[in-house]
Amino acid sequence: AQSVTQPDIHITVSEGASLELRCNYSYGATPYLFWYVQSPGQGLQLLLKYFSGDTLVQGIKGFEAEFKRSQSSFNLRKPSVHWSDAAEYFCAVGLYGGATNKLIFGTGTLLAVQP
């Protein structure tokens, strides 16, 4: 069955430090992959997506993610974290075809940023 795993429930980094949030997926075909961010009390904002092509994807707010088929991973990175990046981050895989067009989300990683 298709699934998304985010192994880290909670991560704390210092402001200015680099960040990597892990995401592993289980999907038989070429995946459509997404990262969303949810600030407290807010909706989900799309950070970036991978559909095909270059496996290193650039997103908004200085984030990037790399698709690695051999590892079934789509990890999110940022070279220098800002306090405003504190939020919940969700990885998702898109399932498309026939009557099934939906996103399967991971359980999220809560990012805390300390001064």
Partner 1 sequence: DTAVSQTPKYLVTQMGNDKSIKCEQNLGHDTMYWYKQDSKKFLKIMFSYNNKELIINETVPNRFSPKSPDKAHLNLHINSLELGDSAVYFCASSQSEQGSPYFGPGTRLTVT
Cβ proximity to partner 1: between 41 and 115 the closer is: 41
The yes or no reply on residue 61 touching partner 1 (CB under 8 A) is no
Residues sharing a CB contact under 8 Å with residue 10, sequence separation 6 or more, in sequence order: 109, 110, 112
The yes or no reply on residue 90 touching partner 1 (CB under 8 A) is yes
Cβ proximity to partner 1: between 70 and 101 the closer is: 101
How many Å apart are CA 10 and CA 36, to the nearest integer? Answer: 16
Sign of the CA dihedral 23, 24, 27, 32?
positive
The yes or no reply on residue 60 touching partner 1 (CB under 8 A) is no
- Report the interface residues with partner 1, using CB under 8 A: 32, 34, 36, 38, 42-46, 49, 88, 90, 94, 96, 99-103, 105, 107-108
